[in-house]
Chains A and B, each alone.
Chain A
Amino acid sequence: MCVTPRRGACAAVCPYVPVLLVTALSSCVLALADPGLPQEVASDPTGASTDAPAPQPPEPPPDEASATAEEAPVKSTVVRGALPARSASEVTLGRDILDAAPRRNAVDLLRAVPGLVASQHSGEGKAQQLFLRGFDALHGQDVELNVGGLPVNEVSHIHALGYADVNFVIPEVVQSLDVTEGSYRASQGDFAVAGTVRMDLGVEEPGVHLIGTLGQYGQRRLVATVRPGEDAGTFAAVELGEGKGFGAQRSYGRASLLAQATASLGGGLTVRALGGSYVTRFDSPGVVREDDLLAGRDTFFSAPLGRQGGSVSRHQLLLGVDLPRTGTGRTKLEVFGILSDLRLRNNFTGFRVDERGDGLEQTNDGMTLGARAEHRRTVFIAGRPVALELGLGARRDSVEQAQRRYRESDGTFFSDEIDARFTQTDVWGWTEARMPLGRWSLRLGGRADALGVEVFDALAFRDPRYYDGQGYARSAFGVHLGAKAGIEYALGDDADAWRLFASYGDGFRSPQARSLSEGERAPFVSIRGAEVGSRKDGEHWAVQLSLFGSQVDNDFFFDHTVGTTVYTGETLRSGLSAALQARPLPGLVTSVSATLAHAYVRASNTLLPYFAPLVARADVGWDGQPPWAWGSTLSLGTGLTFIGPRPLPFDERSATVFLADAHVAIRRGELGLRLEVSNLLDARWRDGEFVYSSRFDPGAPASLVPARHFTAGSPRMASLSLEVHL
């Protein structure tokens, strides 16, 4: 008997009716489900994967990864996603695609994601600014990033909402990127507005692997990876790097350690541990005014203001357990903890606000603890198999934040602006059910996130002339409910037939904790998105096409360079995206994508600035053993990026950016040599462009009319690496 929730008067007006339906459906499903039935579902005709129709967990468990690898021992593997895709724009980029173009750091990995533009505007150690699908995700507020199960986005970060710093990732240990664009899957959580990117870690070759790199501009890098056994997911890697940078004030030093171990404890019980430590210190050149460049007061790579930069440390540990399978049910439990400390100094406006300098020093020290449980099983309704996924989790972040202004002359502080600490707890549950019906599949899911925040603001009400206490505390609570749905239709019965998709999803991002008032119902920013697309996952090539749109009710544009929030009201985004991954010839792998997106503010009917309407990316790699190479393996690869002109305020546009990176490598036995060149054409490009008013010369009168500023993109940089594989 179904247990249906009470349908009160709310049902007529409540927008959460789909969620109620989902829960009703799930309740009914569970009531009818008889997990004892044998697995007669192997003959599921529309299953997109060759494995069991039980939906597969996001990270391929060791046995499945090796199953894919077994099909072809060299790089020209058959194109199959590690897990079956449930919408048109999910894609898994395997290691061969990731190896095609030079990847100096983790952000270069992210550039392979279709439609994602990453802009580095403040030095090597700061999270990049990300743009995806019409969203300016700033430093991560609209893209959920996850590394092996460890969340990367930081909540209520003092610098930018959803700050996601992936610089701790060592590119050599990333074996695949699982990209879910849009927000149509129930497992996507906070900040998954434009999409989710999950990096799965693993080392390609067994043994010890040492890479030493010397590059231009003082770049030095040493990476050592150890993979003791057959399992790609058990490894340890350490990276040490430093460099002077291609211009003034761009030096950095970093060290990162990542280690993962997977062990099978018998009886189907698998445990996984992933840990890492990371520390970096970097300088940042800040921005250059366009008119200073034109007048010759500054050069393209100059750094008008000093003292900018920062340091970051991050320590994290994740422990996960895959419980023994029960019938078709698989359960995974994970707990994780992250300690992250950040100190950033930025001065984007010079002396405009205060004659002592507008430099801001921000610190954000957080501790994150969390746990999640996921369960997958197949249940039967009226004889039809339904793939069911359930997830529960909780995450607690306790953060201390401070923001102070410092003098340009000597770096001492002259004003405390923020001194707060808060505890933010997010408890969530989600469910998703997929029912194949012949060539059709129906997917329905829902998600609920409850957020509780407690903030203590030490600077409020502390003037001793008027108040005899100090500080002000407040707490808030809120719930976000989201519905996800999708329909899939396969045009043929083979696994590599064209499939058509229509998807809908509610995404969200949590609010900034400090902005909440006492007793406020914590307001999430809610995004409704929909997509129509098709995909074909074929033998040698896979293609994804999608037409997407999203609507945000109360969007805001937070200009963190000057610390003001501009409420824009309703914003609408739409676009078209196409991606192709192909392995047409043995040894050749290509991944090409192009995304056209349009983002505008409904109230004023103006385009959202800074967002590039057209971006395209190509990663092409080839390796083989040419006859003249005496048995060595030669690899060539290139990564091409095209960023179309971005609209700027005052009816201007930024310049088009076209970048080409290339590498050539030769490997014989245990030794290898690799030459990597980024920005091969030595294009002079502007990484970030901003329009606001600033005053860099304290002696001259302030210029208050908004002017163009930019951060210089890197010029041609070459580096040579020696690799030793033992």
Chain B
Amino acid sequence: MTTLWPHLPDTVATEIYDHVAGRTAAQLDHVWKHRHPAQIYTATGGTRADGRRVRELRDVIVSTARQHGFPNGGTKIAFDRELAPKLLAEMDLALAEASDRRLWNFLTLVVAPDVTAWRWAGSSNRERWICRDPTRHMFSRLWWHAYLFTDPSTGRIEGEVLDRLTEADLNQLFERRRIAGNRRVLRSLARAVLDVSDASRRPLIRDAAKRVLRRMAVIDFHALTDGEVEHEVARLVDEASRAVAAESP
């Protein structure tokens, strides 16, 4: 039985955002709530998270943030990496529920506006608060990172791979949704790219992703074994690496 978390309608989310945008974590210290009068739930398909579950989730978010410097400066990337698997474990979401943007708006704007303001201090990017692209939102992107880097056969998150990827690397990988949607291909690509380069990976990921997408049009990666996927993706990354090196001045 999955968990159904409250959702915040778009019109309400926009209104709250106008009140919280630009404020600091300290200014939003007492703003958080465990429920909102306009919150709604998906009609059926799981157990509704009550106020207690929402408070517990907030506790997880806040205690993780505190370990990384909240509400002052701190180590934001390390916070992201540590929170991602906790969100996956605590929230117990169905995939269709995780793709509902209103759920994530509830978390940033009602449950943890102070932590969001701390994590994105100095950023005016609205998408960190109001979910349009799930790969950009404060909490949605972390949940998806953890989910897509989980090996479904073992249930284990490849944390060591995730830790070594930069925010820019992750953005590049997750923007290619066909690649990101196939967890074996995504993890193989990330591993292969890390094997080839520890320096600036932007051109390498861009080139390798193009090659993988072209292959996905003619090769059914789901029909391959783990080893075959690994081998094929590593071959494409190797090709990409040589192509990028040849183009470099």
Q: Do A and B come from one complex?
A: no
